Amino acid sequence: MTALLSRLRDYFSISYGQKVFLLATLPLIVAVTLITLVVTAQSRQLAEREIQALETQLIDTKREELKNYLSIARTAVVNTYGRAAPDDEAAKLAVSRELAAMLYGQDGYFFVYDYDGTNLVAPRQTYLIGKNWTGLEDLNGTPITDELIRIARTGGGYHSFDWPKPSTGETERMIVYVNGLQDWRWAIGTGVFIDDILENVAVARADVERRIRTTSLYIVAIATAALIGVFMTGMVLNLRERRLADAKLKQLTQRIIDTQEEERGRVARELHDGISQMLVGVRYALELTKRKLGGDPATTESLNKGLDGLGSTIQEVRRISRDLRPGVLDDLGLGPALQSLTDDFSTRTGIETEFETVVFRNRLDQEARIALYRIAQEALTNIERHAEASNVQISLKGQRKGAFLRITDDGKGMVWPQPDRRRVGGLGMRNMQERVEQLGGTLRVLSARTGKTGTVIEAQVPLTHMLRPQNTTKESA
């Protein structure tokens, strides 16, 4: 359970750069979201107010038209109505005919109901004439006839309801203006359908929604561009900082390598010029003592053992001094230095070692010579300690891409790259890789995990570390 929680914690953990990016982007995202919501709400409210104002204005215009139409109708029949008595049926018939003949537009007409609810005039919907429509309601339950009569009794006014449109037969919203002829107990009125107004209002609302969506898309696009800008800026800064850090790390690594080589050179000189010379002096003194003591067998045997051990010590000191900083590398070049290294390795370990090289047309600079020599030295050390090999082949050649070093053994192989849990070791391999990368080259390690299949190490140094040709034909590397 603990391991599972640890894995989950590692999976959901974020890096410092991701935290900085989230810290920069989350407030921007929240702000843009809030701005979008506020702008959308405000735009919708403002547009709704404007649409309502437009709808009211258009309806008011229609109402004024209805009032004018009814005024014209009353003016047309006022003479007949004014001279007639309340029960003058001839006058009523004449007024009804005159009103029925007054049509306008496709759907405009005048209607008349008596106060009992009977329709008297309906020129475009004649099926209504002569029938009592008391209690008539539209599809929404809005009272029609009773409300029209009530408005006429009280002096006139407006009413709105759904009614079949004569030209299409479809039920549409209608506004009517009605007034009363009180002497005859008539409700006279006219109406107009406002489906065109409602359609215009719907189109306006759809246009507003489209504009709101467009504005929201603009805001999102701007926010996305800002996020991309923040991300790209962060990436540029991150890459710049990483390049600077890599450059500083490379300088530091080079400085460490140079310091290491300088220290190795100093220690090698101390061993060669100091300790080695002192040991040689001690050996001469012991040999002189041996000659002076004469032929005492016990003393001679003891001195011989001491001289043999001292000679071995001198050779070991010289080997260590040579490994720390071989003079042949500086004096003769990389090829002879590797030849000497392989000869000593073969003599010391008994492993058959072959070295092949081709004379370079150009010389390697000092950094490349030291790096390739150290790689070969580290590889031979690993072979001696771990590979259990019986044969080693080393090849040093020049190619179009630069100097190429290849080291092959027939040992038991190795695991590379190593798993994370084992990366505490392998300093030698990492040093080899760092040396090559410091020069801008490449290092390849080809090896099987199991079985006696051997290992191949290939190191390549680019042409930038090749010096201009010298006026000598014997320089190898």
Contact indicator for 458, 404 with CB cutoff of 8 Å: yes
Q: For the chain, what is the mean pLDDT?
A: 80
CA distance linking residue 134 with residue 143, whole number of Å:
9
Model-level pTM?
0.47
* pLDDT per residue as tens digits for the range 11-52: 556 666 667 667 767 787 887 788 888 888 887 788 788 888
* Confidence bin at 425 (pLDDT 50/70/90): very low
pLDDT given for residue 16 in this prediction: 63
CA distance linking residue 234 with residue 21, whole number of Å:
7
Q: Which two tokens stand for residue 88?
A: 């003058």
Contact indicator for 419, 457 with CB cutoff of 8 Å: no
How far is residue 260 from each of residues 85, 268, 312, 326, measured CA to CA in Å?
Answer: 132, 12, 27, 14
Considering only CA atoms, which of 351, 350, 372 is closest in space to residue 465?
372
* pLDDT per residue as tens digits for the range 98-157: 999 999 888 899 999 999 999 999 999 999 999 999 999 999 999 999 999 999 999 899
Burial label for 403, CB within 10 Å (0-12, 13-18, 19+), is buried
pLDDT of 435 higher than 90: no
Give the percent of the chain with pLDDT over 90: 21
